[in-house]
Amino acid sequence: MVRVKRGFVARRRKNKLRKRAKGFRGGLRTQSTRRKIAVYKAQRHATRHRRQKKGTMRALWIARINAAVRLAGTTYSRFISALKKSNISLDRRSLADLAANHPQDFSKILESVGIK
C-alpha cells in the first residue's frame, strides 16, 4: 500500500480552525477536539443571530419612528396608516433615519400625511 502523507492539507484545515478559535477561552482554544466543536457551534449561533439581527433592527426603527411621531401628538400605528392612505412608500429604515437625523424633513412628511 502506498503511504499517504497528509502534510499541508491537514495542516491548512487545522490552521483554519485555529484562526477561528482565536479569542476563545481556556481549552476551547487549545484542545483540538473541543476547539472544533466550539467553532462549529459558534458558526451555528452566528448564522441564527444574523437572522435575528434583522428583526432587532426593525424593532429599533419602529421605536425611533414612534418616539418621533409621539412628539407630533399621534401614535405609530396611526402614522403608518396615514402613510399608506397617502401612497407614500418609505420603508421604516429610512423613516427612522429621517426622524433621528433630519427632523425638519420628517416633519414635512408628517404634514404631507395630514398630521400636525
Query: Where do the domains of the chain lie, and which CATH numbers do they carry?
Result: 8-112 (1.10.1900.20)
pLDDT at 79: 96
pLDDT in tens, the chain (116 residues): 888 877 898 899 999 999 999 999 999 999 999 999 999 999 999 999 999 999 999 999 999 999 999 999 999 999 999 999 999 999 999 999 999 999 999 999 999 998 87
21 vs 38: CA distance, rounded Å:
8
Residue type, 4: V
pLDDT at 4: 80
CB atoms within 10 A of CB 26: 9
pLDDT at 71: 94
Phi-psi region of 26 (alpha: psi -120 to 50; beta: other; left: phi over 0): left
CB atoms within 10 A of CB 113: 18
100 vs 61: CA distance, rounded Å:
10
